């Protein structure tokens, strides 16, 4: 009788462990099993260098979504970014989407200023006002190799 009790306890422990592993897999993989609690927005950029699928989307510094897909609009020569935003977050048609960097040379993320003066964007709505990321490496190389042009005020100060 004692043998079956120990086997039952071990079996319950193993099943509980598998349920925990399955739950963590779903949560960490950001998979929605019980319905989609988000909607999709689209933003078009001139360049999305460094932005990746799964990059976070921030509003006011708060994580509100993820980059779902990045494609190319061949007709307008723009990078099209599809964004999944939480359902309870309201974004208006005068919103501004910009690609920013975490730290000096960190990962890229999408920052959205939600606007507020226009109408609400629905599912598959397009954010028309976008700003591409500043290429820090290019700026550093220009400065290091002397390609940076001096401002006219700086030239006049140097001449004095």
pLDDT digit string (tens) for 46-84?
988 888 998 899 998 899 999 999 999 899 899 999 999
Q: Cα–chain-centroid distance for residue 156?
A: 43
Residue ranges covered by each domain of the chain: 1-31, 38-143
What token pair was written down for 123? 């599912």
User: pTM to 2 decimals?
Assistant: 0.65
Alpha helices by DSSP H, listed for 74-135, are none
**108, 99 in Cβ contact below 8 A?**
yes
Measured CA to CA, the distance from residue 154 to residue 160 in angstroms comes to 10
pLDDT in the model for residue 13: 92
Give 4-50 pLDDT, tens digit per residue.
788 888 899 999 999 999 888 877 766 655 556 888 999 999 988 88
Closest to 80 in 3D by CA, of 121, 49, 45, 129: 45
């Amino acid at each position: 009788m004692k043998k079956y009790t120990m086997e039952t306890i071990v079996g319950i422990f193993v099943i509980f462990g598998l349920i925990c592993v399955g739950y963590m897999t779903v949560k960490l993989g950001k998979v929605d099993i019980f319905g989609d609690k988000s909607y999709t927005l689209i933003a078009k950029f001139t360049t999305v260098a460094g932005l990746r699928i799964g990059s976070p989307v921030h509003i006011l510094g708060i994580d509100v979504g993820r980059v779902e897909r990045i494609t190319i609009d061949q007709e307008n020569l723009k990078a099209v970014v599809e964004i999944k935003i939480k359902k309870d977050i309201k974004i208006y048609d005068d919103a501004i989407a910009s690609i920013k960097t975490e730290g000096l040379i960190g990962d890229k993320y999408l920052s959205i200023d939600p606007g507020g003066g226009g109408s609400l964007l629905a599912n598959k709505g397009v954010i028309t006002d976008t700003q591409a990321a500043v290429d820090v490496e290019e700026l550093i190389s220009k400065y290091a190799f002397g390609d940076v042009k001096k401002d006219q005020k700086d030239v006049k100060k140097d001449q004095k």
